[in-house]
Amino acid sequence: MSHPVSPLAPKALAALPPIIGVRLATAAAGIRYQDRTDVLYVAFDQGAAVAGVFTRSKCPSAPVDWCRRNLGVGAARALVVNSGNANAFTGMKGAQAAGLTAEIAARVADCRPDQVFLASTGVIGEPLDAQKFDAVLADCDERADAFAWPDAAKAIMTTDTFPKLATRTAILGGVEVAINGIAKGAGMIAPDMATMLAFVFTDAPVTAAALQPLLSRGADKSFNCITVDSDTSTSDTLLMFSTGTALPRGAPVIDDHRDVRLRSFRRALDDLLTDLARQVARDGEGARKFVTVDVEGATSARSARRIALSIANSPLVKTAIAGEDANWGRVVMAVGKAGEPAERDRLAISFGDIRVATEGARDPDYDEAAASAYMKNDEIRVRVDLGLGRGKARIWTCDLTKAYVEINGDYRS
Amino acid sequence: MSHPVSPLAPKALAALPPIIGVRLATAAAGIRYQDRTDVLYVAFDQGAAVAGVFTRSKCPSAPVDWCRRNLGVGAARALVVNSGNANAFTGMKGAQAAGLTAEIAARVADCRPDQVFLASTGVIGEPLDAQKFDAVLADCDERADAFAWPDAAKAIMTTDTFPKLATRTAILGGVEVAINGIAKGAGMIAPDMATMLAFVFTDAPVTAAALQPLLSRGADKSFNCITVDSDTSTSDTLLMFSTGTALPRGAPVIDDHRDVRLRSFRRALDDLLTDLARQVARDGEGARKFVTVDVEGATSARSARRIALSIANSPLVKTAIAGEDANWGRVVMAVGKAGEPAERDRLAISFGDIRVATEGARDPDYDEAAASAYMKNDEIRVRVDLGLGRGKARIWTCDLTKAYVEINGDYRS
């Protein structure tokens, strides 16, 4: 798409190191876009343990069905992702297209189709012509190398204005292991499973049994804490592949997510997932401001989260932030409509460090000029203290601008 | 406000007949707006039975607190409404301002303060200077007449682009009775209690005990079926006043909402409330299209309603409609995210009479040109059949345009 790069994009792309056992190639299948890549092929030559978290949509895409079914099968040997067509709501033909894609990739990777994982992103409801992958994937395995991370992140973009990459290292049993991740997503972003697509790779020898709870909990603290527009995709997919190729270097095999040796790894993974999730919010369609909503003093963490989401998803709060207006009245409104315990007379609201409301009324020291100056920042923090308990939550989002409407009024036609 | 009149506005304002026992006057207090009226005073010289439905916000405005407290007191003698300032989240001072307003009005109307009903709409969190009402209301009772309906509807507007009025007649015990209503609301409109303010008046001798369930149920079928932006106001207020002045003409006193003689009255009231609610959706901020979402075949009415609201509140569905794009994939997404029972392979989606999807995939007879032509209409109907049960629901909304963002990014500053 030809939208200008988000002003909230990171200044530089993260430089991802090679992970032994992971090779990547991209290709242009012309599924929807011209003059750009739209297919990502990833080979796991020695196989990889897989974990996955998927959309909770009741109408998931065919690739989501496919991945869910094959998660338990065993080692992954390949991943194929396409952009431009989500292969969602395509009925029996969609399932057939997913199956055919896996068959084609299995021939290329010399494995079984159920060892191929799939993800598709783009328009919903259009039949996906999987036959195209035959010619496109043919030379991908030959071409795939350990360095194509930036290309990989670009190939999976749709309305994204910048590719999203992150990397971390962790110590596992005294050995350094790597975690690389790429993601895409800009609209139709909301919990649960906020990102549309994210793929994480590691050489740490963590089995699928241990990887799945690590990934699920990590997603709860990262991708499930962002929202762009409250719309949840049919295709949201977070897959993590662990090649175990740090084993020869002395990293231990970890089979239980409670293993104390996972401490550094877990922290690095959580950090990487949060990094990617925040990049998605920073690329929210039409976003000009990155917004952190912090709710504390709620009766429970769950209640805090609901209130934070009510604020982060409120069109009136989001448009006020776009207008650089410290309109805390709309924050009150969003707190009130969440339906969670709240007492007007105990509520305090701040923008950044500027407290605008306290004890159910405007702060007596409220300085409109200071608040207005703060709202001109690229990054805005909205803080709400309910004064009732100890529950807290943080949600990341972005503002709602005319560009969002423009992008989404023009996307398909 | 200086926004152009919604293209969805009714061609002509409804002409409301006098209702004996109801006199209206408007005034300009300069609370926020210049060169327009912002205060409505209504006198019920012979008193009126009152019923009310209010916002479910946990942070309601001071006037909402006031009205709730006084609903049970007995006959209403006056109603005072101001626009420009919602007197919400104004703490103890807000409650005092409401009390002072009622005291001033009580002197004017020669009644007790608890016989005065109040509503305020506008900016949240600004202190309301009720002292202003002293001078402003002074001559209102003298000036009040039975004909000022259009002026009344105008005085309560905020971002509304047209005044909202409706009238119906009903037969009660063989006697014709009248029901008049006015409403305001354009943004921060969502169930529950979608309108910000609506006031209904009748000469039918229906007691408060009978009026309340009639009004509550009527609201469920009307104001609670519209949404503009999913944001619920702190101030939503629907009040109904029954003067009983049709009694001398032979209308019977009705004390039980189940009384069979109420049939015509109930139908007329429901119809009037729906008329006003639809006018509010038609004046949704920035609206260019009026949208009816019909969901059927759900497992229950409640489930159908949730799915319909998920569709009607989806920014991606609303921007697609603004872009005249028959993007049914986004409707699938919104069905999927509602979390209600849905089976992809039984789902059918139509825009108007054009079925675009059936049995989990694009309709084989789908004609994109016909669908595109349909999307150019001012009124769009989105129909979803889940194919699971008999639950159905209808929600009214509008599209999401750049003008919405513009209006709400500029409202306060």
Overall average pLDDT of the B104-130 stretch: 94
Mark yes or no for CB contact A405/B401 under 8 Å: yes
Cα separation of A357 and B89, whole Å?
A: 9
Cα separation of B187 and A325, whole Å?
A: 17
pLDDT band at A406 (very low <50, low <70, confident <90, very high): confident
φ and ψ at residue A207, rounded to 5 degrees: -75, 165
The partner residues of B354 in beta bridges, in order of sequence, read B351
Give the neighbor-by-neighbor strand order of the sheet with B290-298.
Answer: B361-362, B354-358, B348-351, B379-385, B290-298, B391-398
Q: What Rg, from alpha-carbon coordinates, does chain B have?
A: 22
Which distant-in-sequence residues (6+ apart) come within 8 Å of B387 by Cβ? B297, B343, B346, B347, B348
Cα separation of A280 and A397, whole Å?
A: 9
What's the pLDDT score for residue A102? 98
Bin B38: left if φ > 0, else alpha if -120 < ψ < 50, else beta: alpha
Name which of B59, B320, B360 is nearest A344 (Cβ-Cβ).
B59
In the chain, the amino acid numbered A381 is: R
Nearest residue to A176 via CA among A167, A185, A184: A167
Q: How close is the nearest chain B Cα to the Cα of A362, in Å? A: 6
Q: How many CB atoms lie within 10 A of CB B232?
A: 27
Cβ contacts below 8 Å, chain A against chain B, sum to 244
What's the pLDDT score for residue A195? 59
Mark yes or no for CB contact A408/B232 under 8 Å: no
Cis peptide before B365 (omega within 30 of 0): no
What is the token pair recorded at B408? Answer: 């709400």
- Three-class DSSP category at B174: coil
Q: Among all chains, which residue has been given the structure tokens 């030379």?
A: A139
Which distant-in-sequence residues (6+ apart) come within 8 Å of A335 by Cβ? A307, A310, A311, A342, A347, A384, A386, B58, B59
Best B227, B289, B330 residue to mutate vs chain A (most A CBs within 10 Å) = B330
What is the token pair recorded at B18? Answer: 């006098």
Residue B188 pLDDT > 80: no
H helices present in A74-201, as ranges? 91-109, 132-137, 140-143, 149-155
Cα separation of A180 and A240, whole Å?
A: 10
Residue A33 pLDDT > 90: no
The partner residues of A294 in beta bridges, in order of sequence, read A383, A394
φ and ψ at residue A112, rounded to 5 degrees: -85, 150
What's the pLDDT score for residue A412? 47
Bin A297: left if φ > 0, else alpha if -120 < ψ < 50, else beta: left
What is the token pair recorded at A302? Answer: 């769950």
**Is B169 among the catalytic positions?**
no
Going by their DSSP bridges, the two strands B379-385 and B348-351 should be labelled as antiparallel
Mark yes or no for CB contact B362/A125 under 8 Å: yes
φ and ψ at residue B372, rounded to 5 degrees: -60, -40
Cis peptide before B363 (omega within 30 of 0): no
Overall average pLDDT of the A363-367 stretch: 90
Dihedral, B325, B328, B331, B332 alpha carbons, nearest 10: -150
Whole-model pTM?
A: 0.85
What's the pLDDT score for residue A347? 92
Let me know: does A48 contact A76? Beta carbons within 8 Å.
yes
Going by their DSSP bridges, the two strands A76-85 and A116-123 should be labelled as parallel
What's the pLDDT score for residue A410? 64
B300 touches A: beta carbon within 8 Å: no
Which distant-in-sequence residues (6+ apart) come within 8 Å of B263 by Cβ? none
What's the pLDDT score for residue B124? 83
B315 touches A: beta carbon within 8 Å: yes
The count of C-alpha atoms lying within 13 angstroms of the C-alpha of A312, restricted to the half-sphere facing its C-beta, is 34
Let me know: does B79 contact B241? Beta carbons within 8 Å.
yes
Mark yes or no for CB contact B336/A123 under 8 Å: no
Which distant-in-sequence residues (6+ apart) come within 8 Å of B83 by Cβ? B31, B32, B33, B38, B39, B120, B121, B122, B155, B156, B157, B158, B184
B347 touches A: beta carbon within 8 Å: yes
Alpha-carbon distance values, B56 to A108, A334, B59, B64, B196 (Å): 59, 12, 9, 10, 12
In this structure, is the dihedral angle defined by the CA atoms of residues B387, B389, B394 and B398, taken in order, positive or negative? negative
Nearest residue to B132 via CA among B29, B25, B36, B27: B29
Residue A95 pLDDT > 70: yes
In the chain, the amino acid numbered B274 is: T
pLDDT band at A27 (very low <50, low <70, confident <90, very high): very high
- Three-class DSSP category at B155: helix
Predicted ipTM beyond 0.85: no
In the chain, the amino acid numbered B114 is: D
In this structure, is the dihedral angle defined by the CA atoms of residues B354, B356, B359 and B365, taken in order, positive or negative? positive
- With beta carbons under 8 A apart, name residues in chain A contacting B325: 409, 411-413
Let me know: does B154 contact B39? Beta carbons within 8 Å.
no
Overall average pLDDT of the B254-282 stretch: 94
Which distant-in-sequence residues (6+ apart) come within 8 Å of B92 by Cβ? A360, A361
Helix-helix angle A315-322:A301-313, to 10 degrees: 60
Cα separation of A80 and A119, whole Å?
A: 7
A125 touches B: beta carbon within 8 Å: yes
How far separated are the first and last CA of chain B, in Å rounded? 13
Overall average pLDDT of the A140-154 stretch: 97
Overall average pLDDT of the A42-60 stretch: 92
Chain A: residue whose CA lies nearest to B59: A336
Q: How many CB atoms lie within 10 A of CB A321?
A: 25
Q: How close is the nearest chain A Cα to the Cα of B345, in Å? A: 7
Alpha-carbon distance values, B137 to B50, B62, B103, B143 (Å): 22, 20, 11, 10
Q: What is the rounded average pLDDT for all residues in chain A?
A: 91
Q: Which residue has the higher pLDDT, A211 or B158?
A: A211
Residue A189 pLDDT > 80: no
Cα separation of A120 and A197, whole Å?
A: 8
What's the pLDDT score for residue B321? 95
Q: Give per-residue pLDDT as tens, A10-23.
A: 999 999 999 999 99
A190 touches B: beta carbon within 8 Å: yes
Q: Give per-residue pLDDT as tens, B6-56.
A: 889 999 999 999 999 999 999 999 998 889 999 999 999 999 999 999 988
What's the pLDDT score for residue B147? 97
Q: Give per-residue pLDDT as tens, A282-330.
A: 988 889 999 999 999 999 999 999 999 999 999 989 999 999 999 888 8
Q: Which residue has the higher pLDDT, A181 or B190?
A: A181
Chain B: residue whose CA lies nearest to A372: B413
Longest dimension (CA), chain B: 71
Q: Give per-residue pLDDT as tens, B54-94.
A: 988 888 899 999 999 999 888 999 999 999 999 988 888 99
Overall average pLDDT of the A127-140 stretch: 95
Cα separation of B383 and B312, whole Å?
A: 11
Overall average pLDDT of the A359-377 stretch: 91
Overall average pLDDT of the B127-131 stretch: 94
What's the pLDDT score for residue A274? 94
- With beta carbons under 8 A apart, name residues in chain B contacting A319: 404-405, 408-409
Residue A393 pLDDT > 90: yes
Lowest mean pLDDT among A176-180, B262-266, B383-387, B404-408: B404-408
Which distant-in-sequence residues (6+ apart) come within 8 Å of A72 by Cβ? none
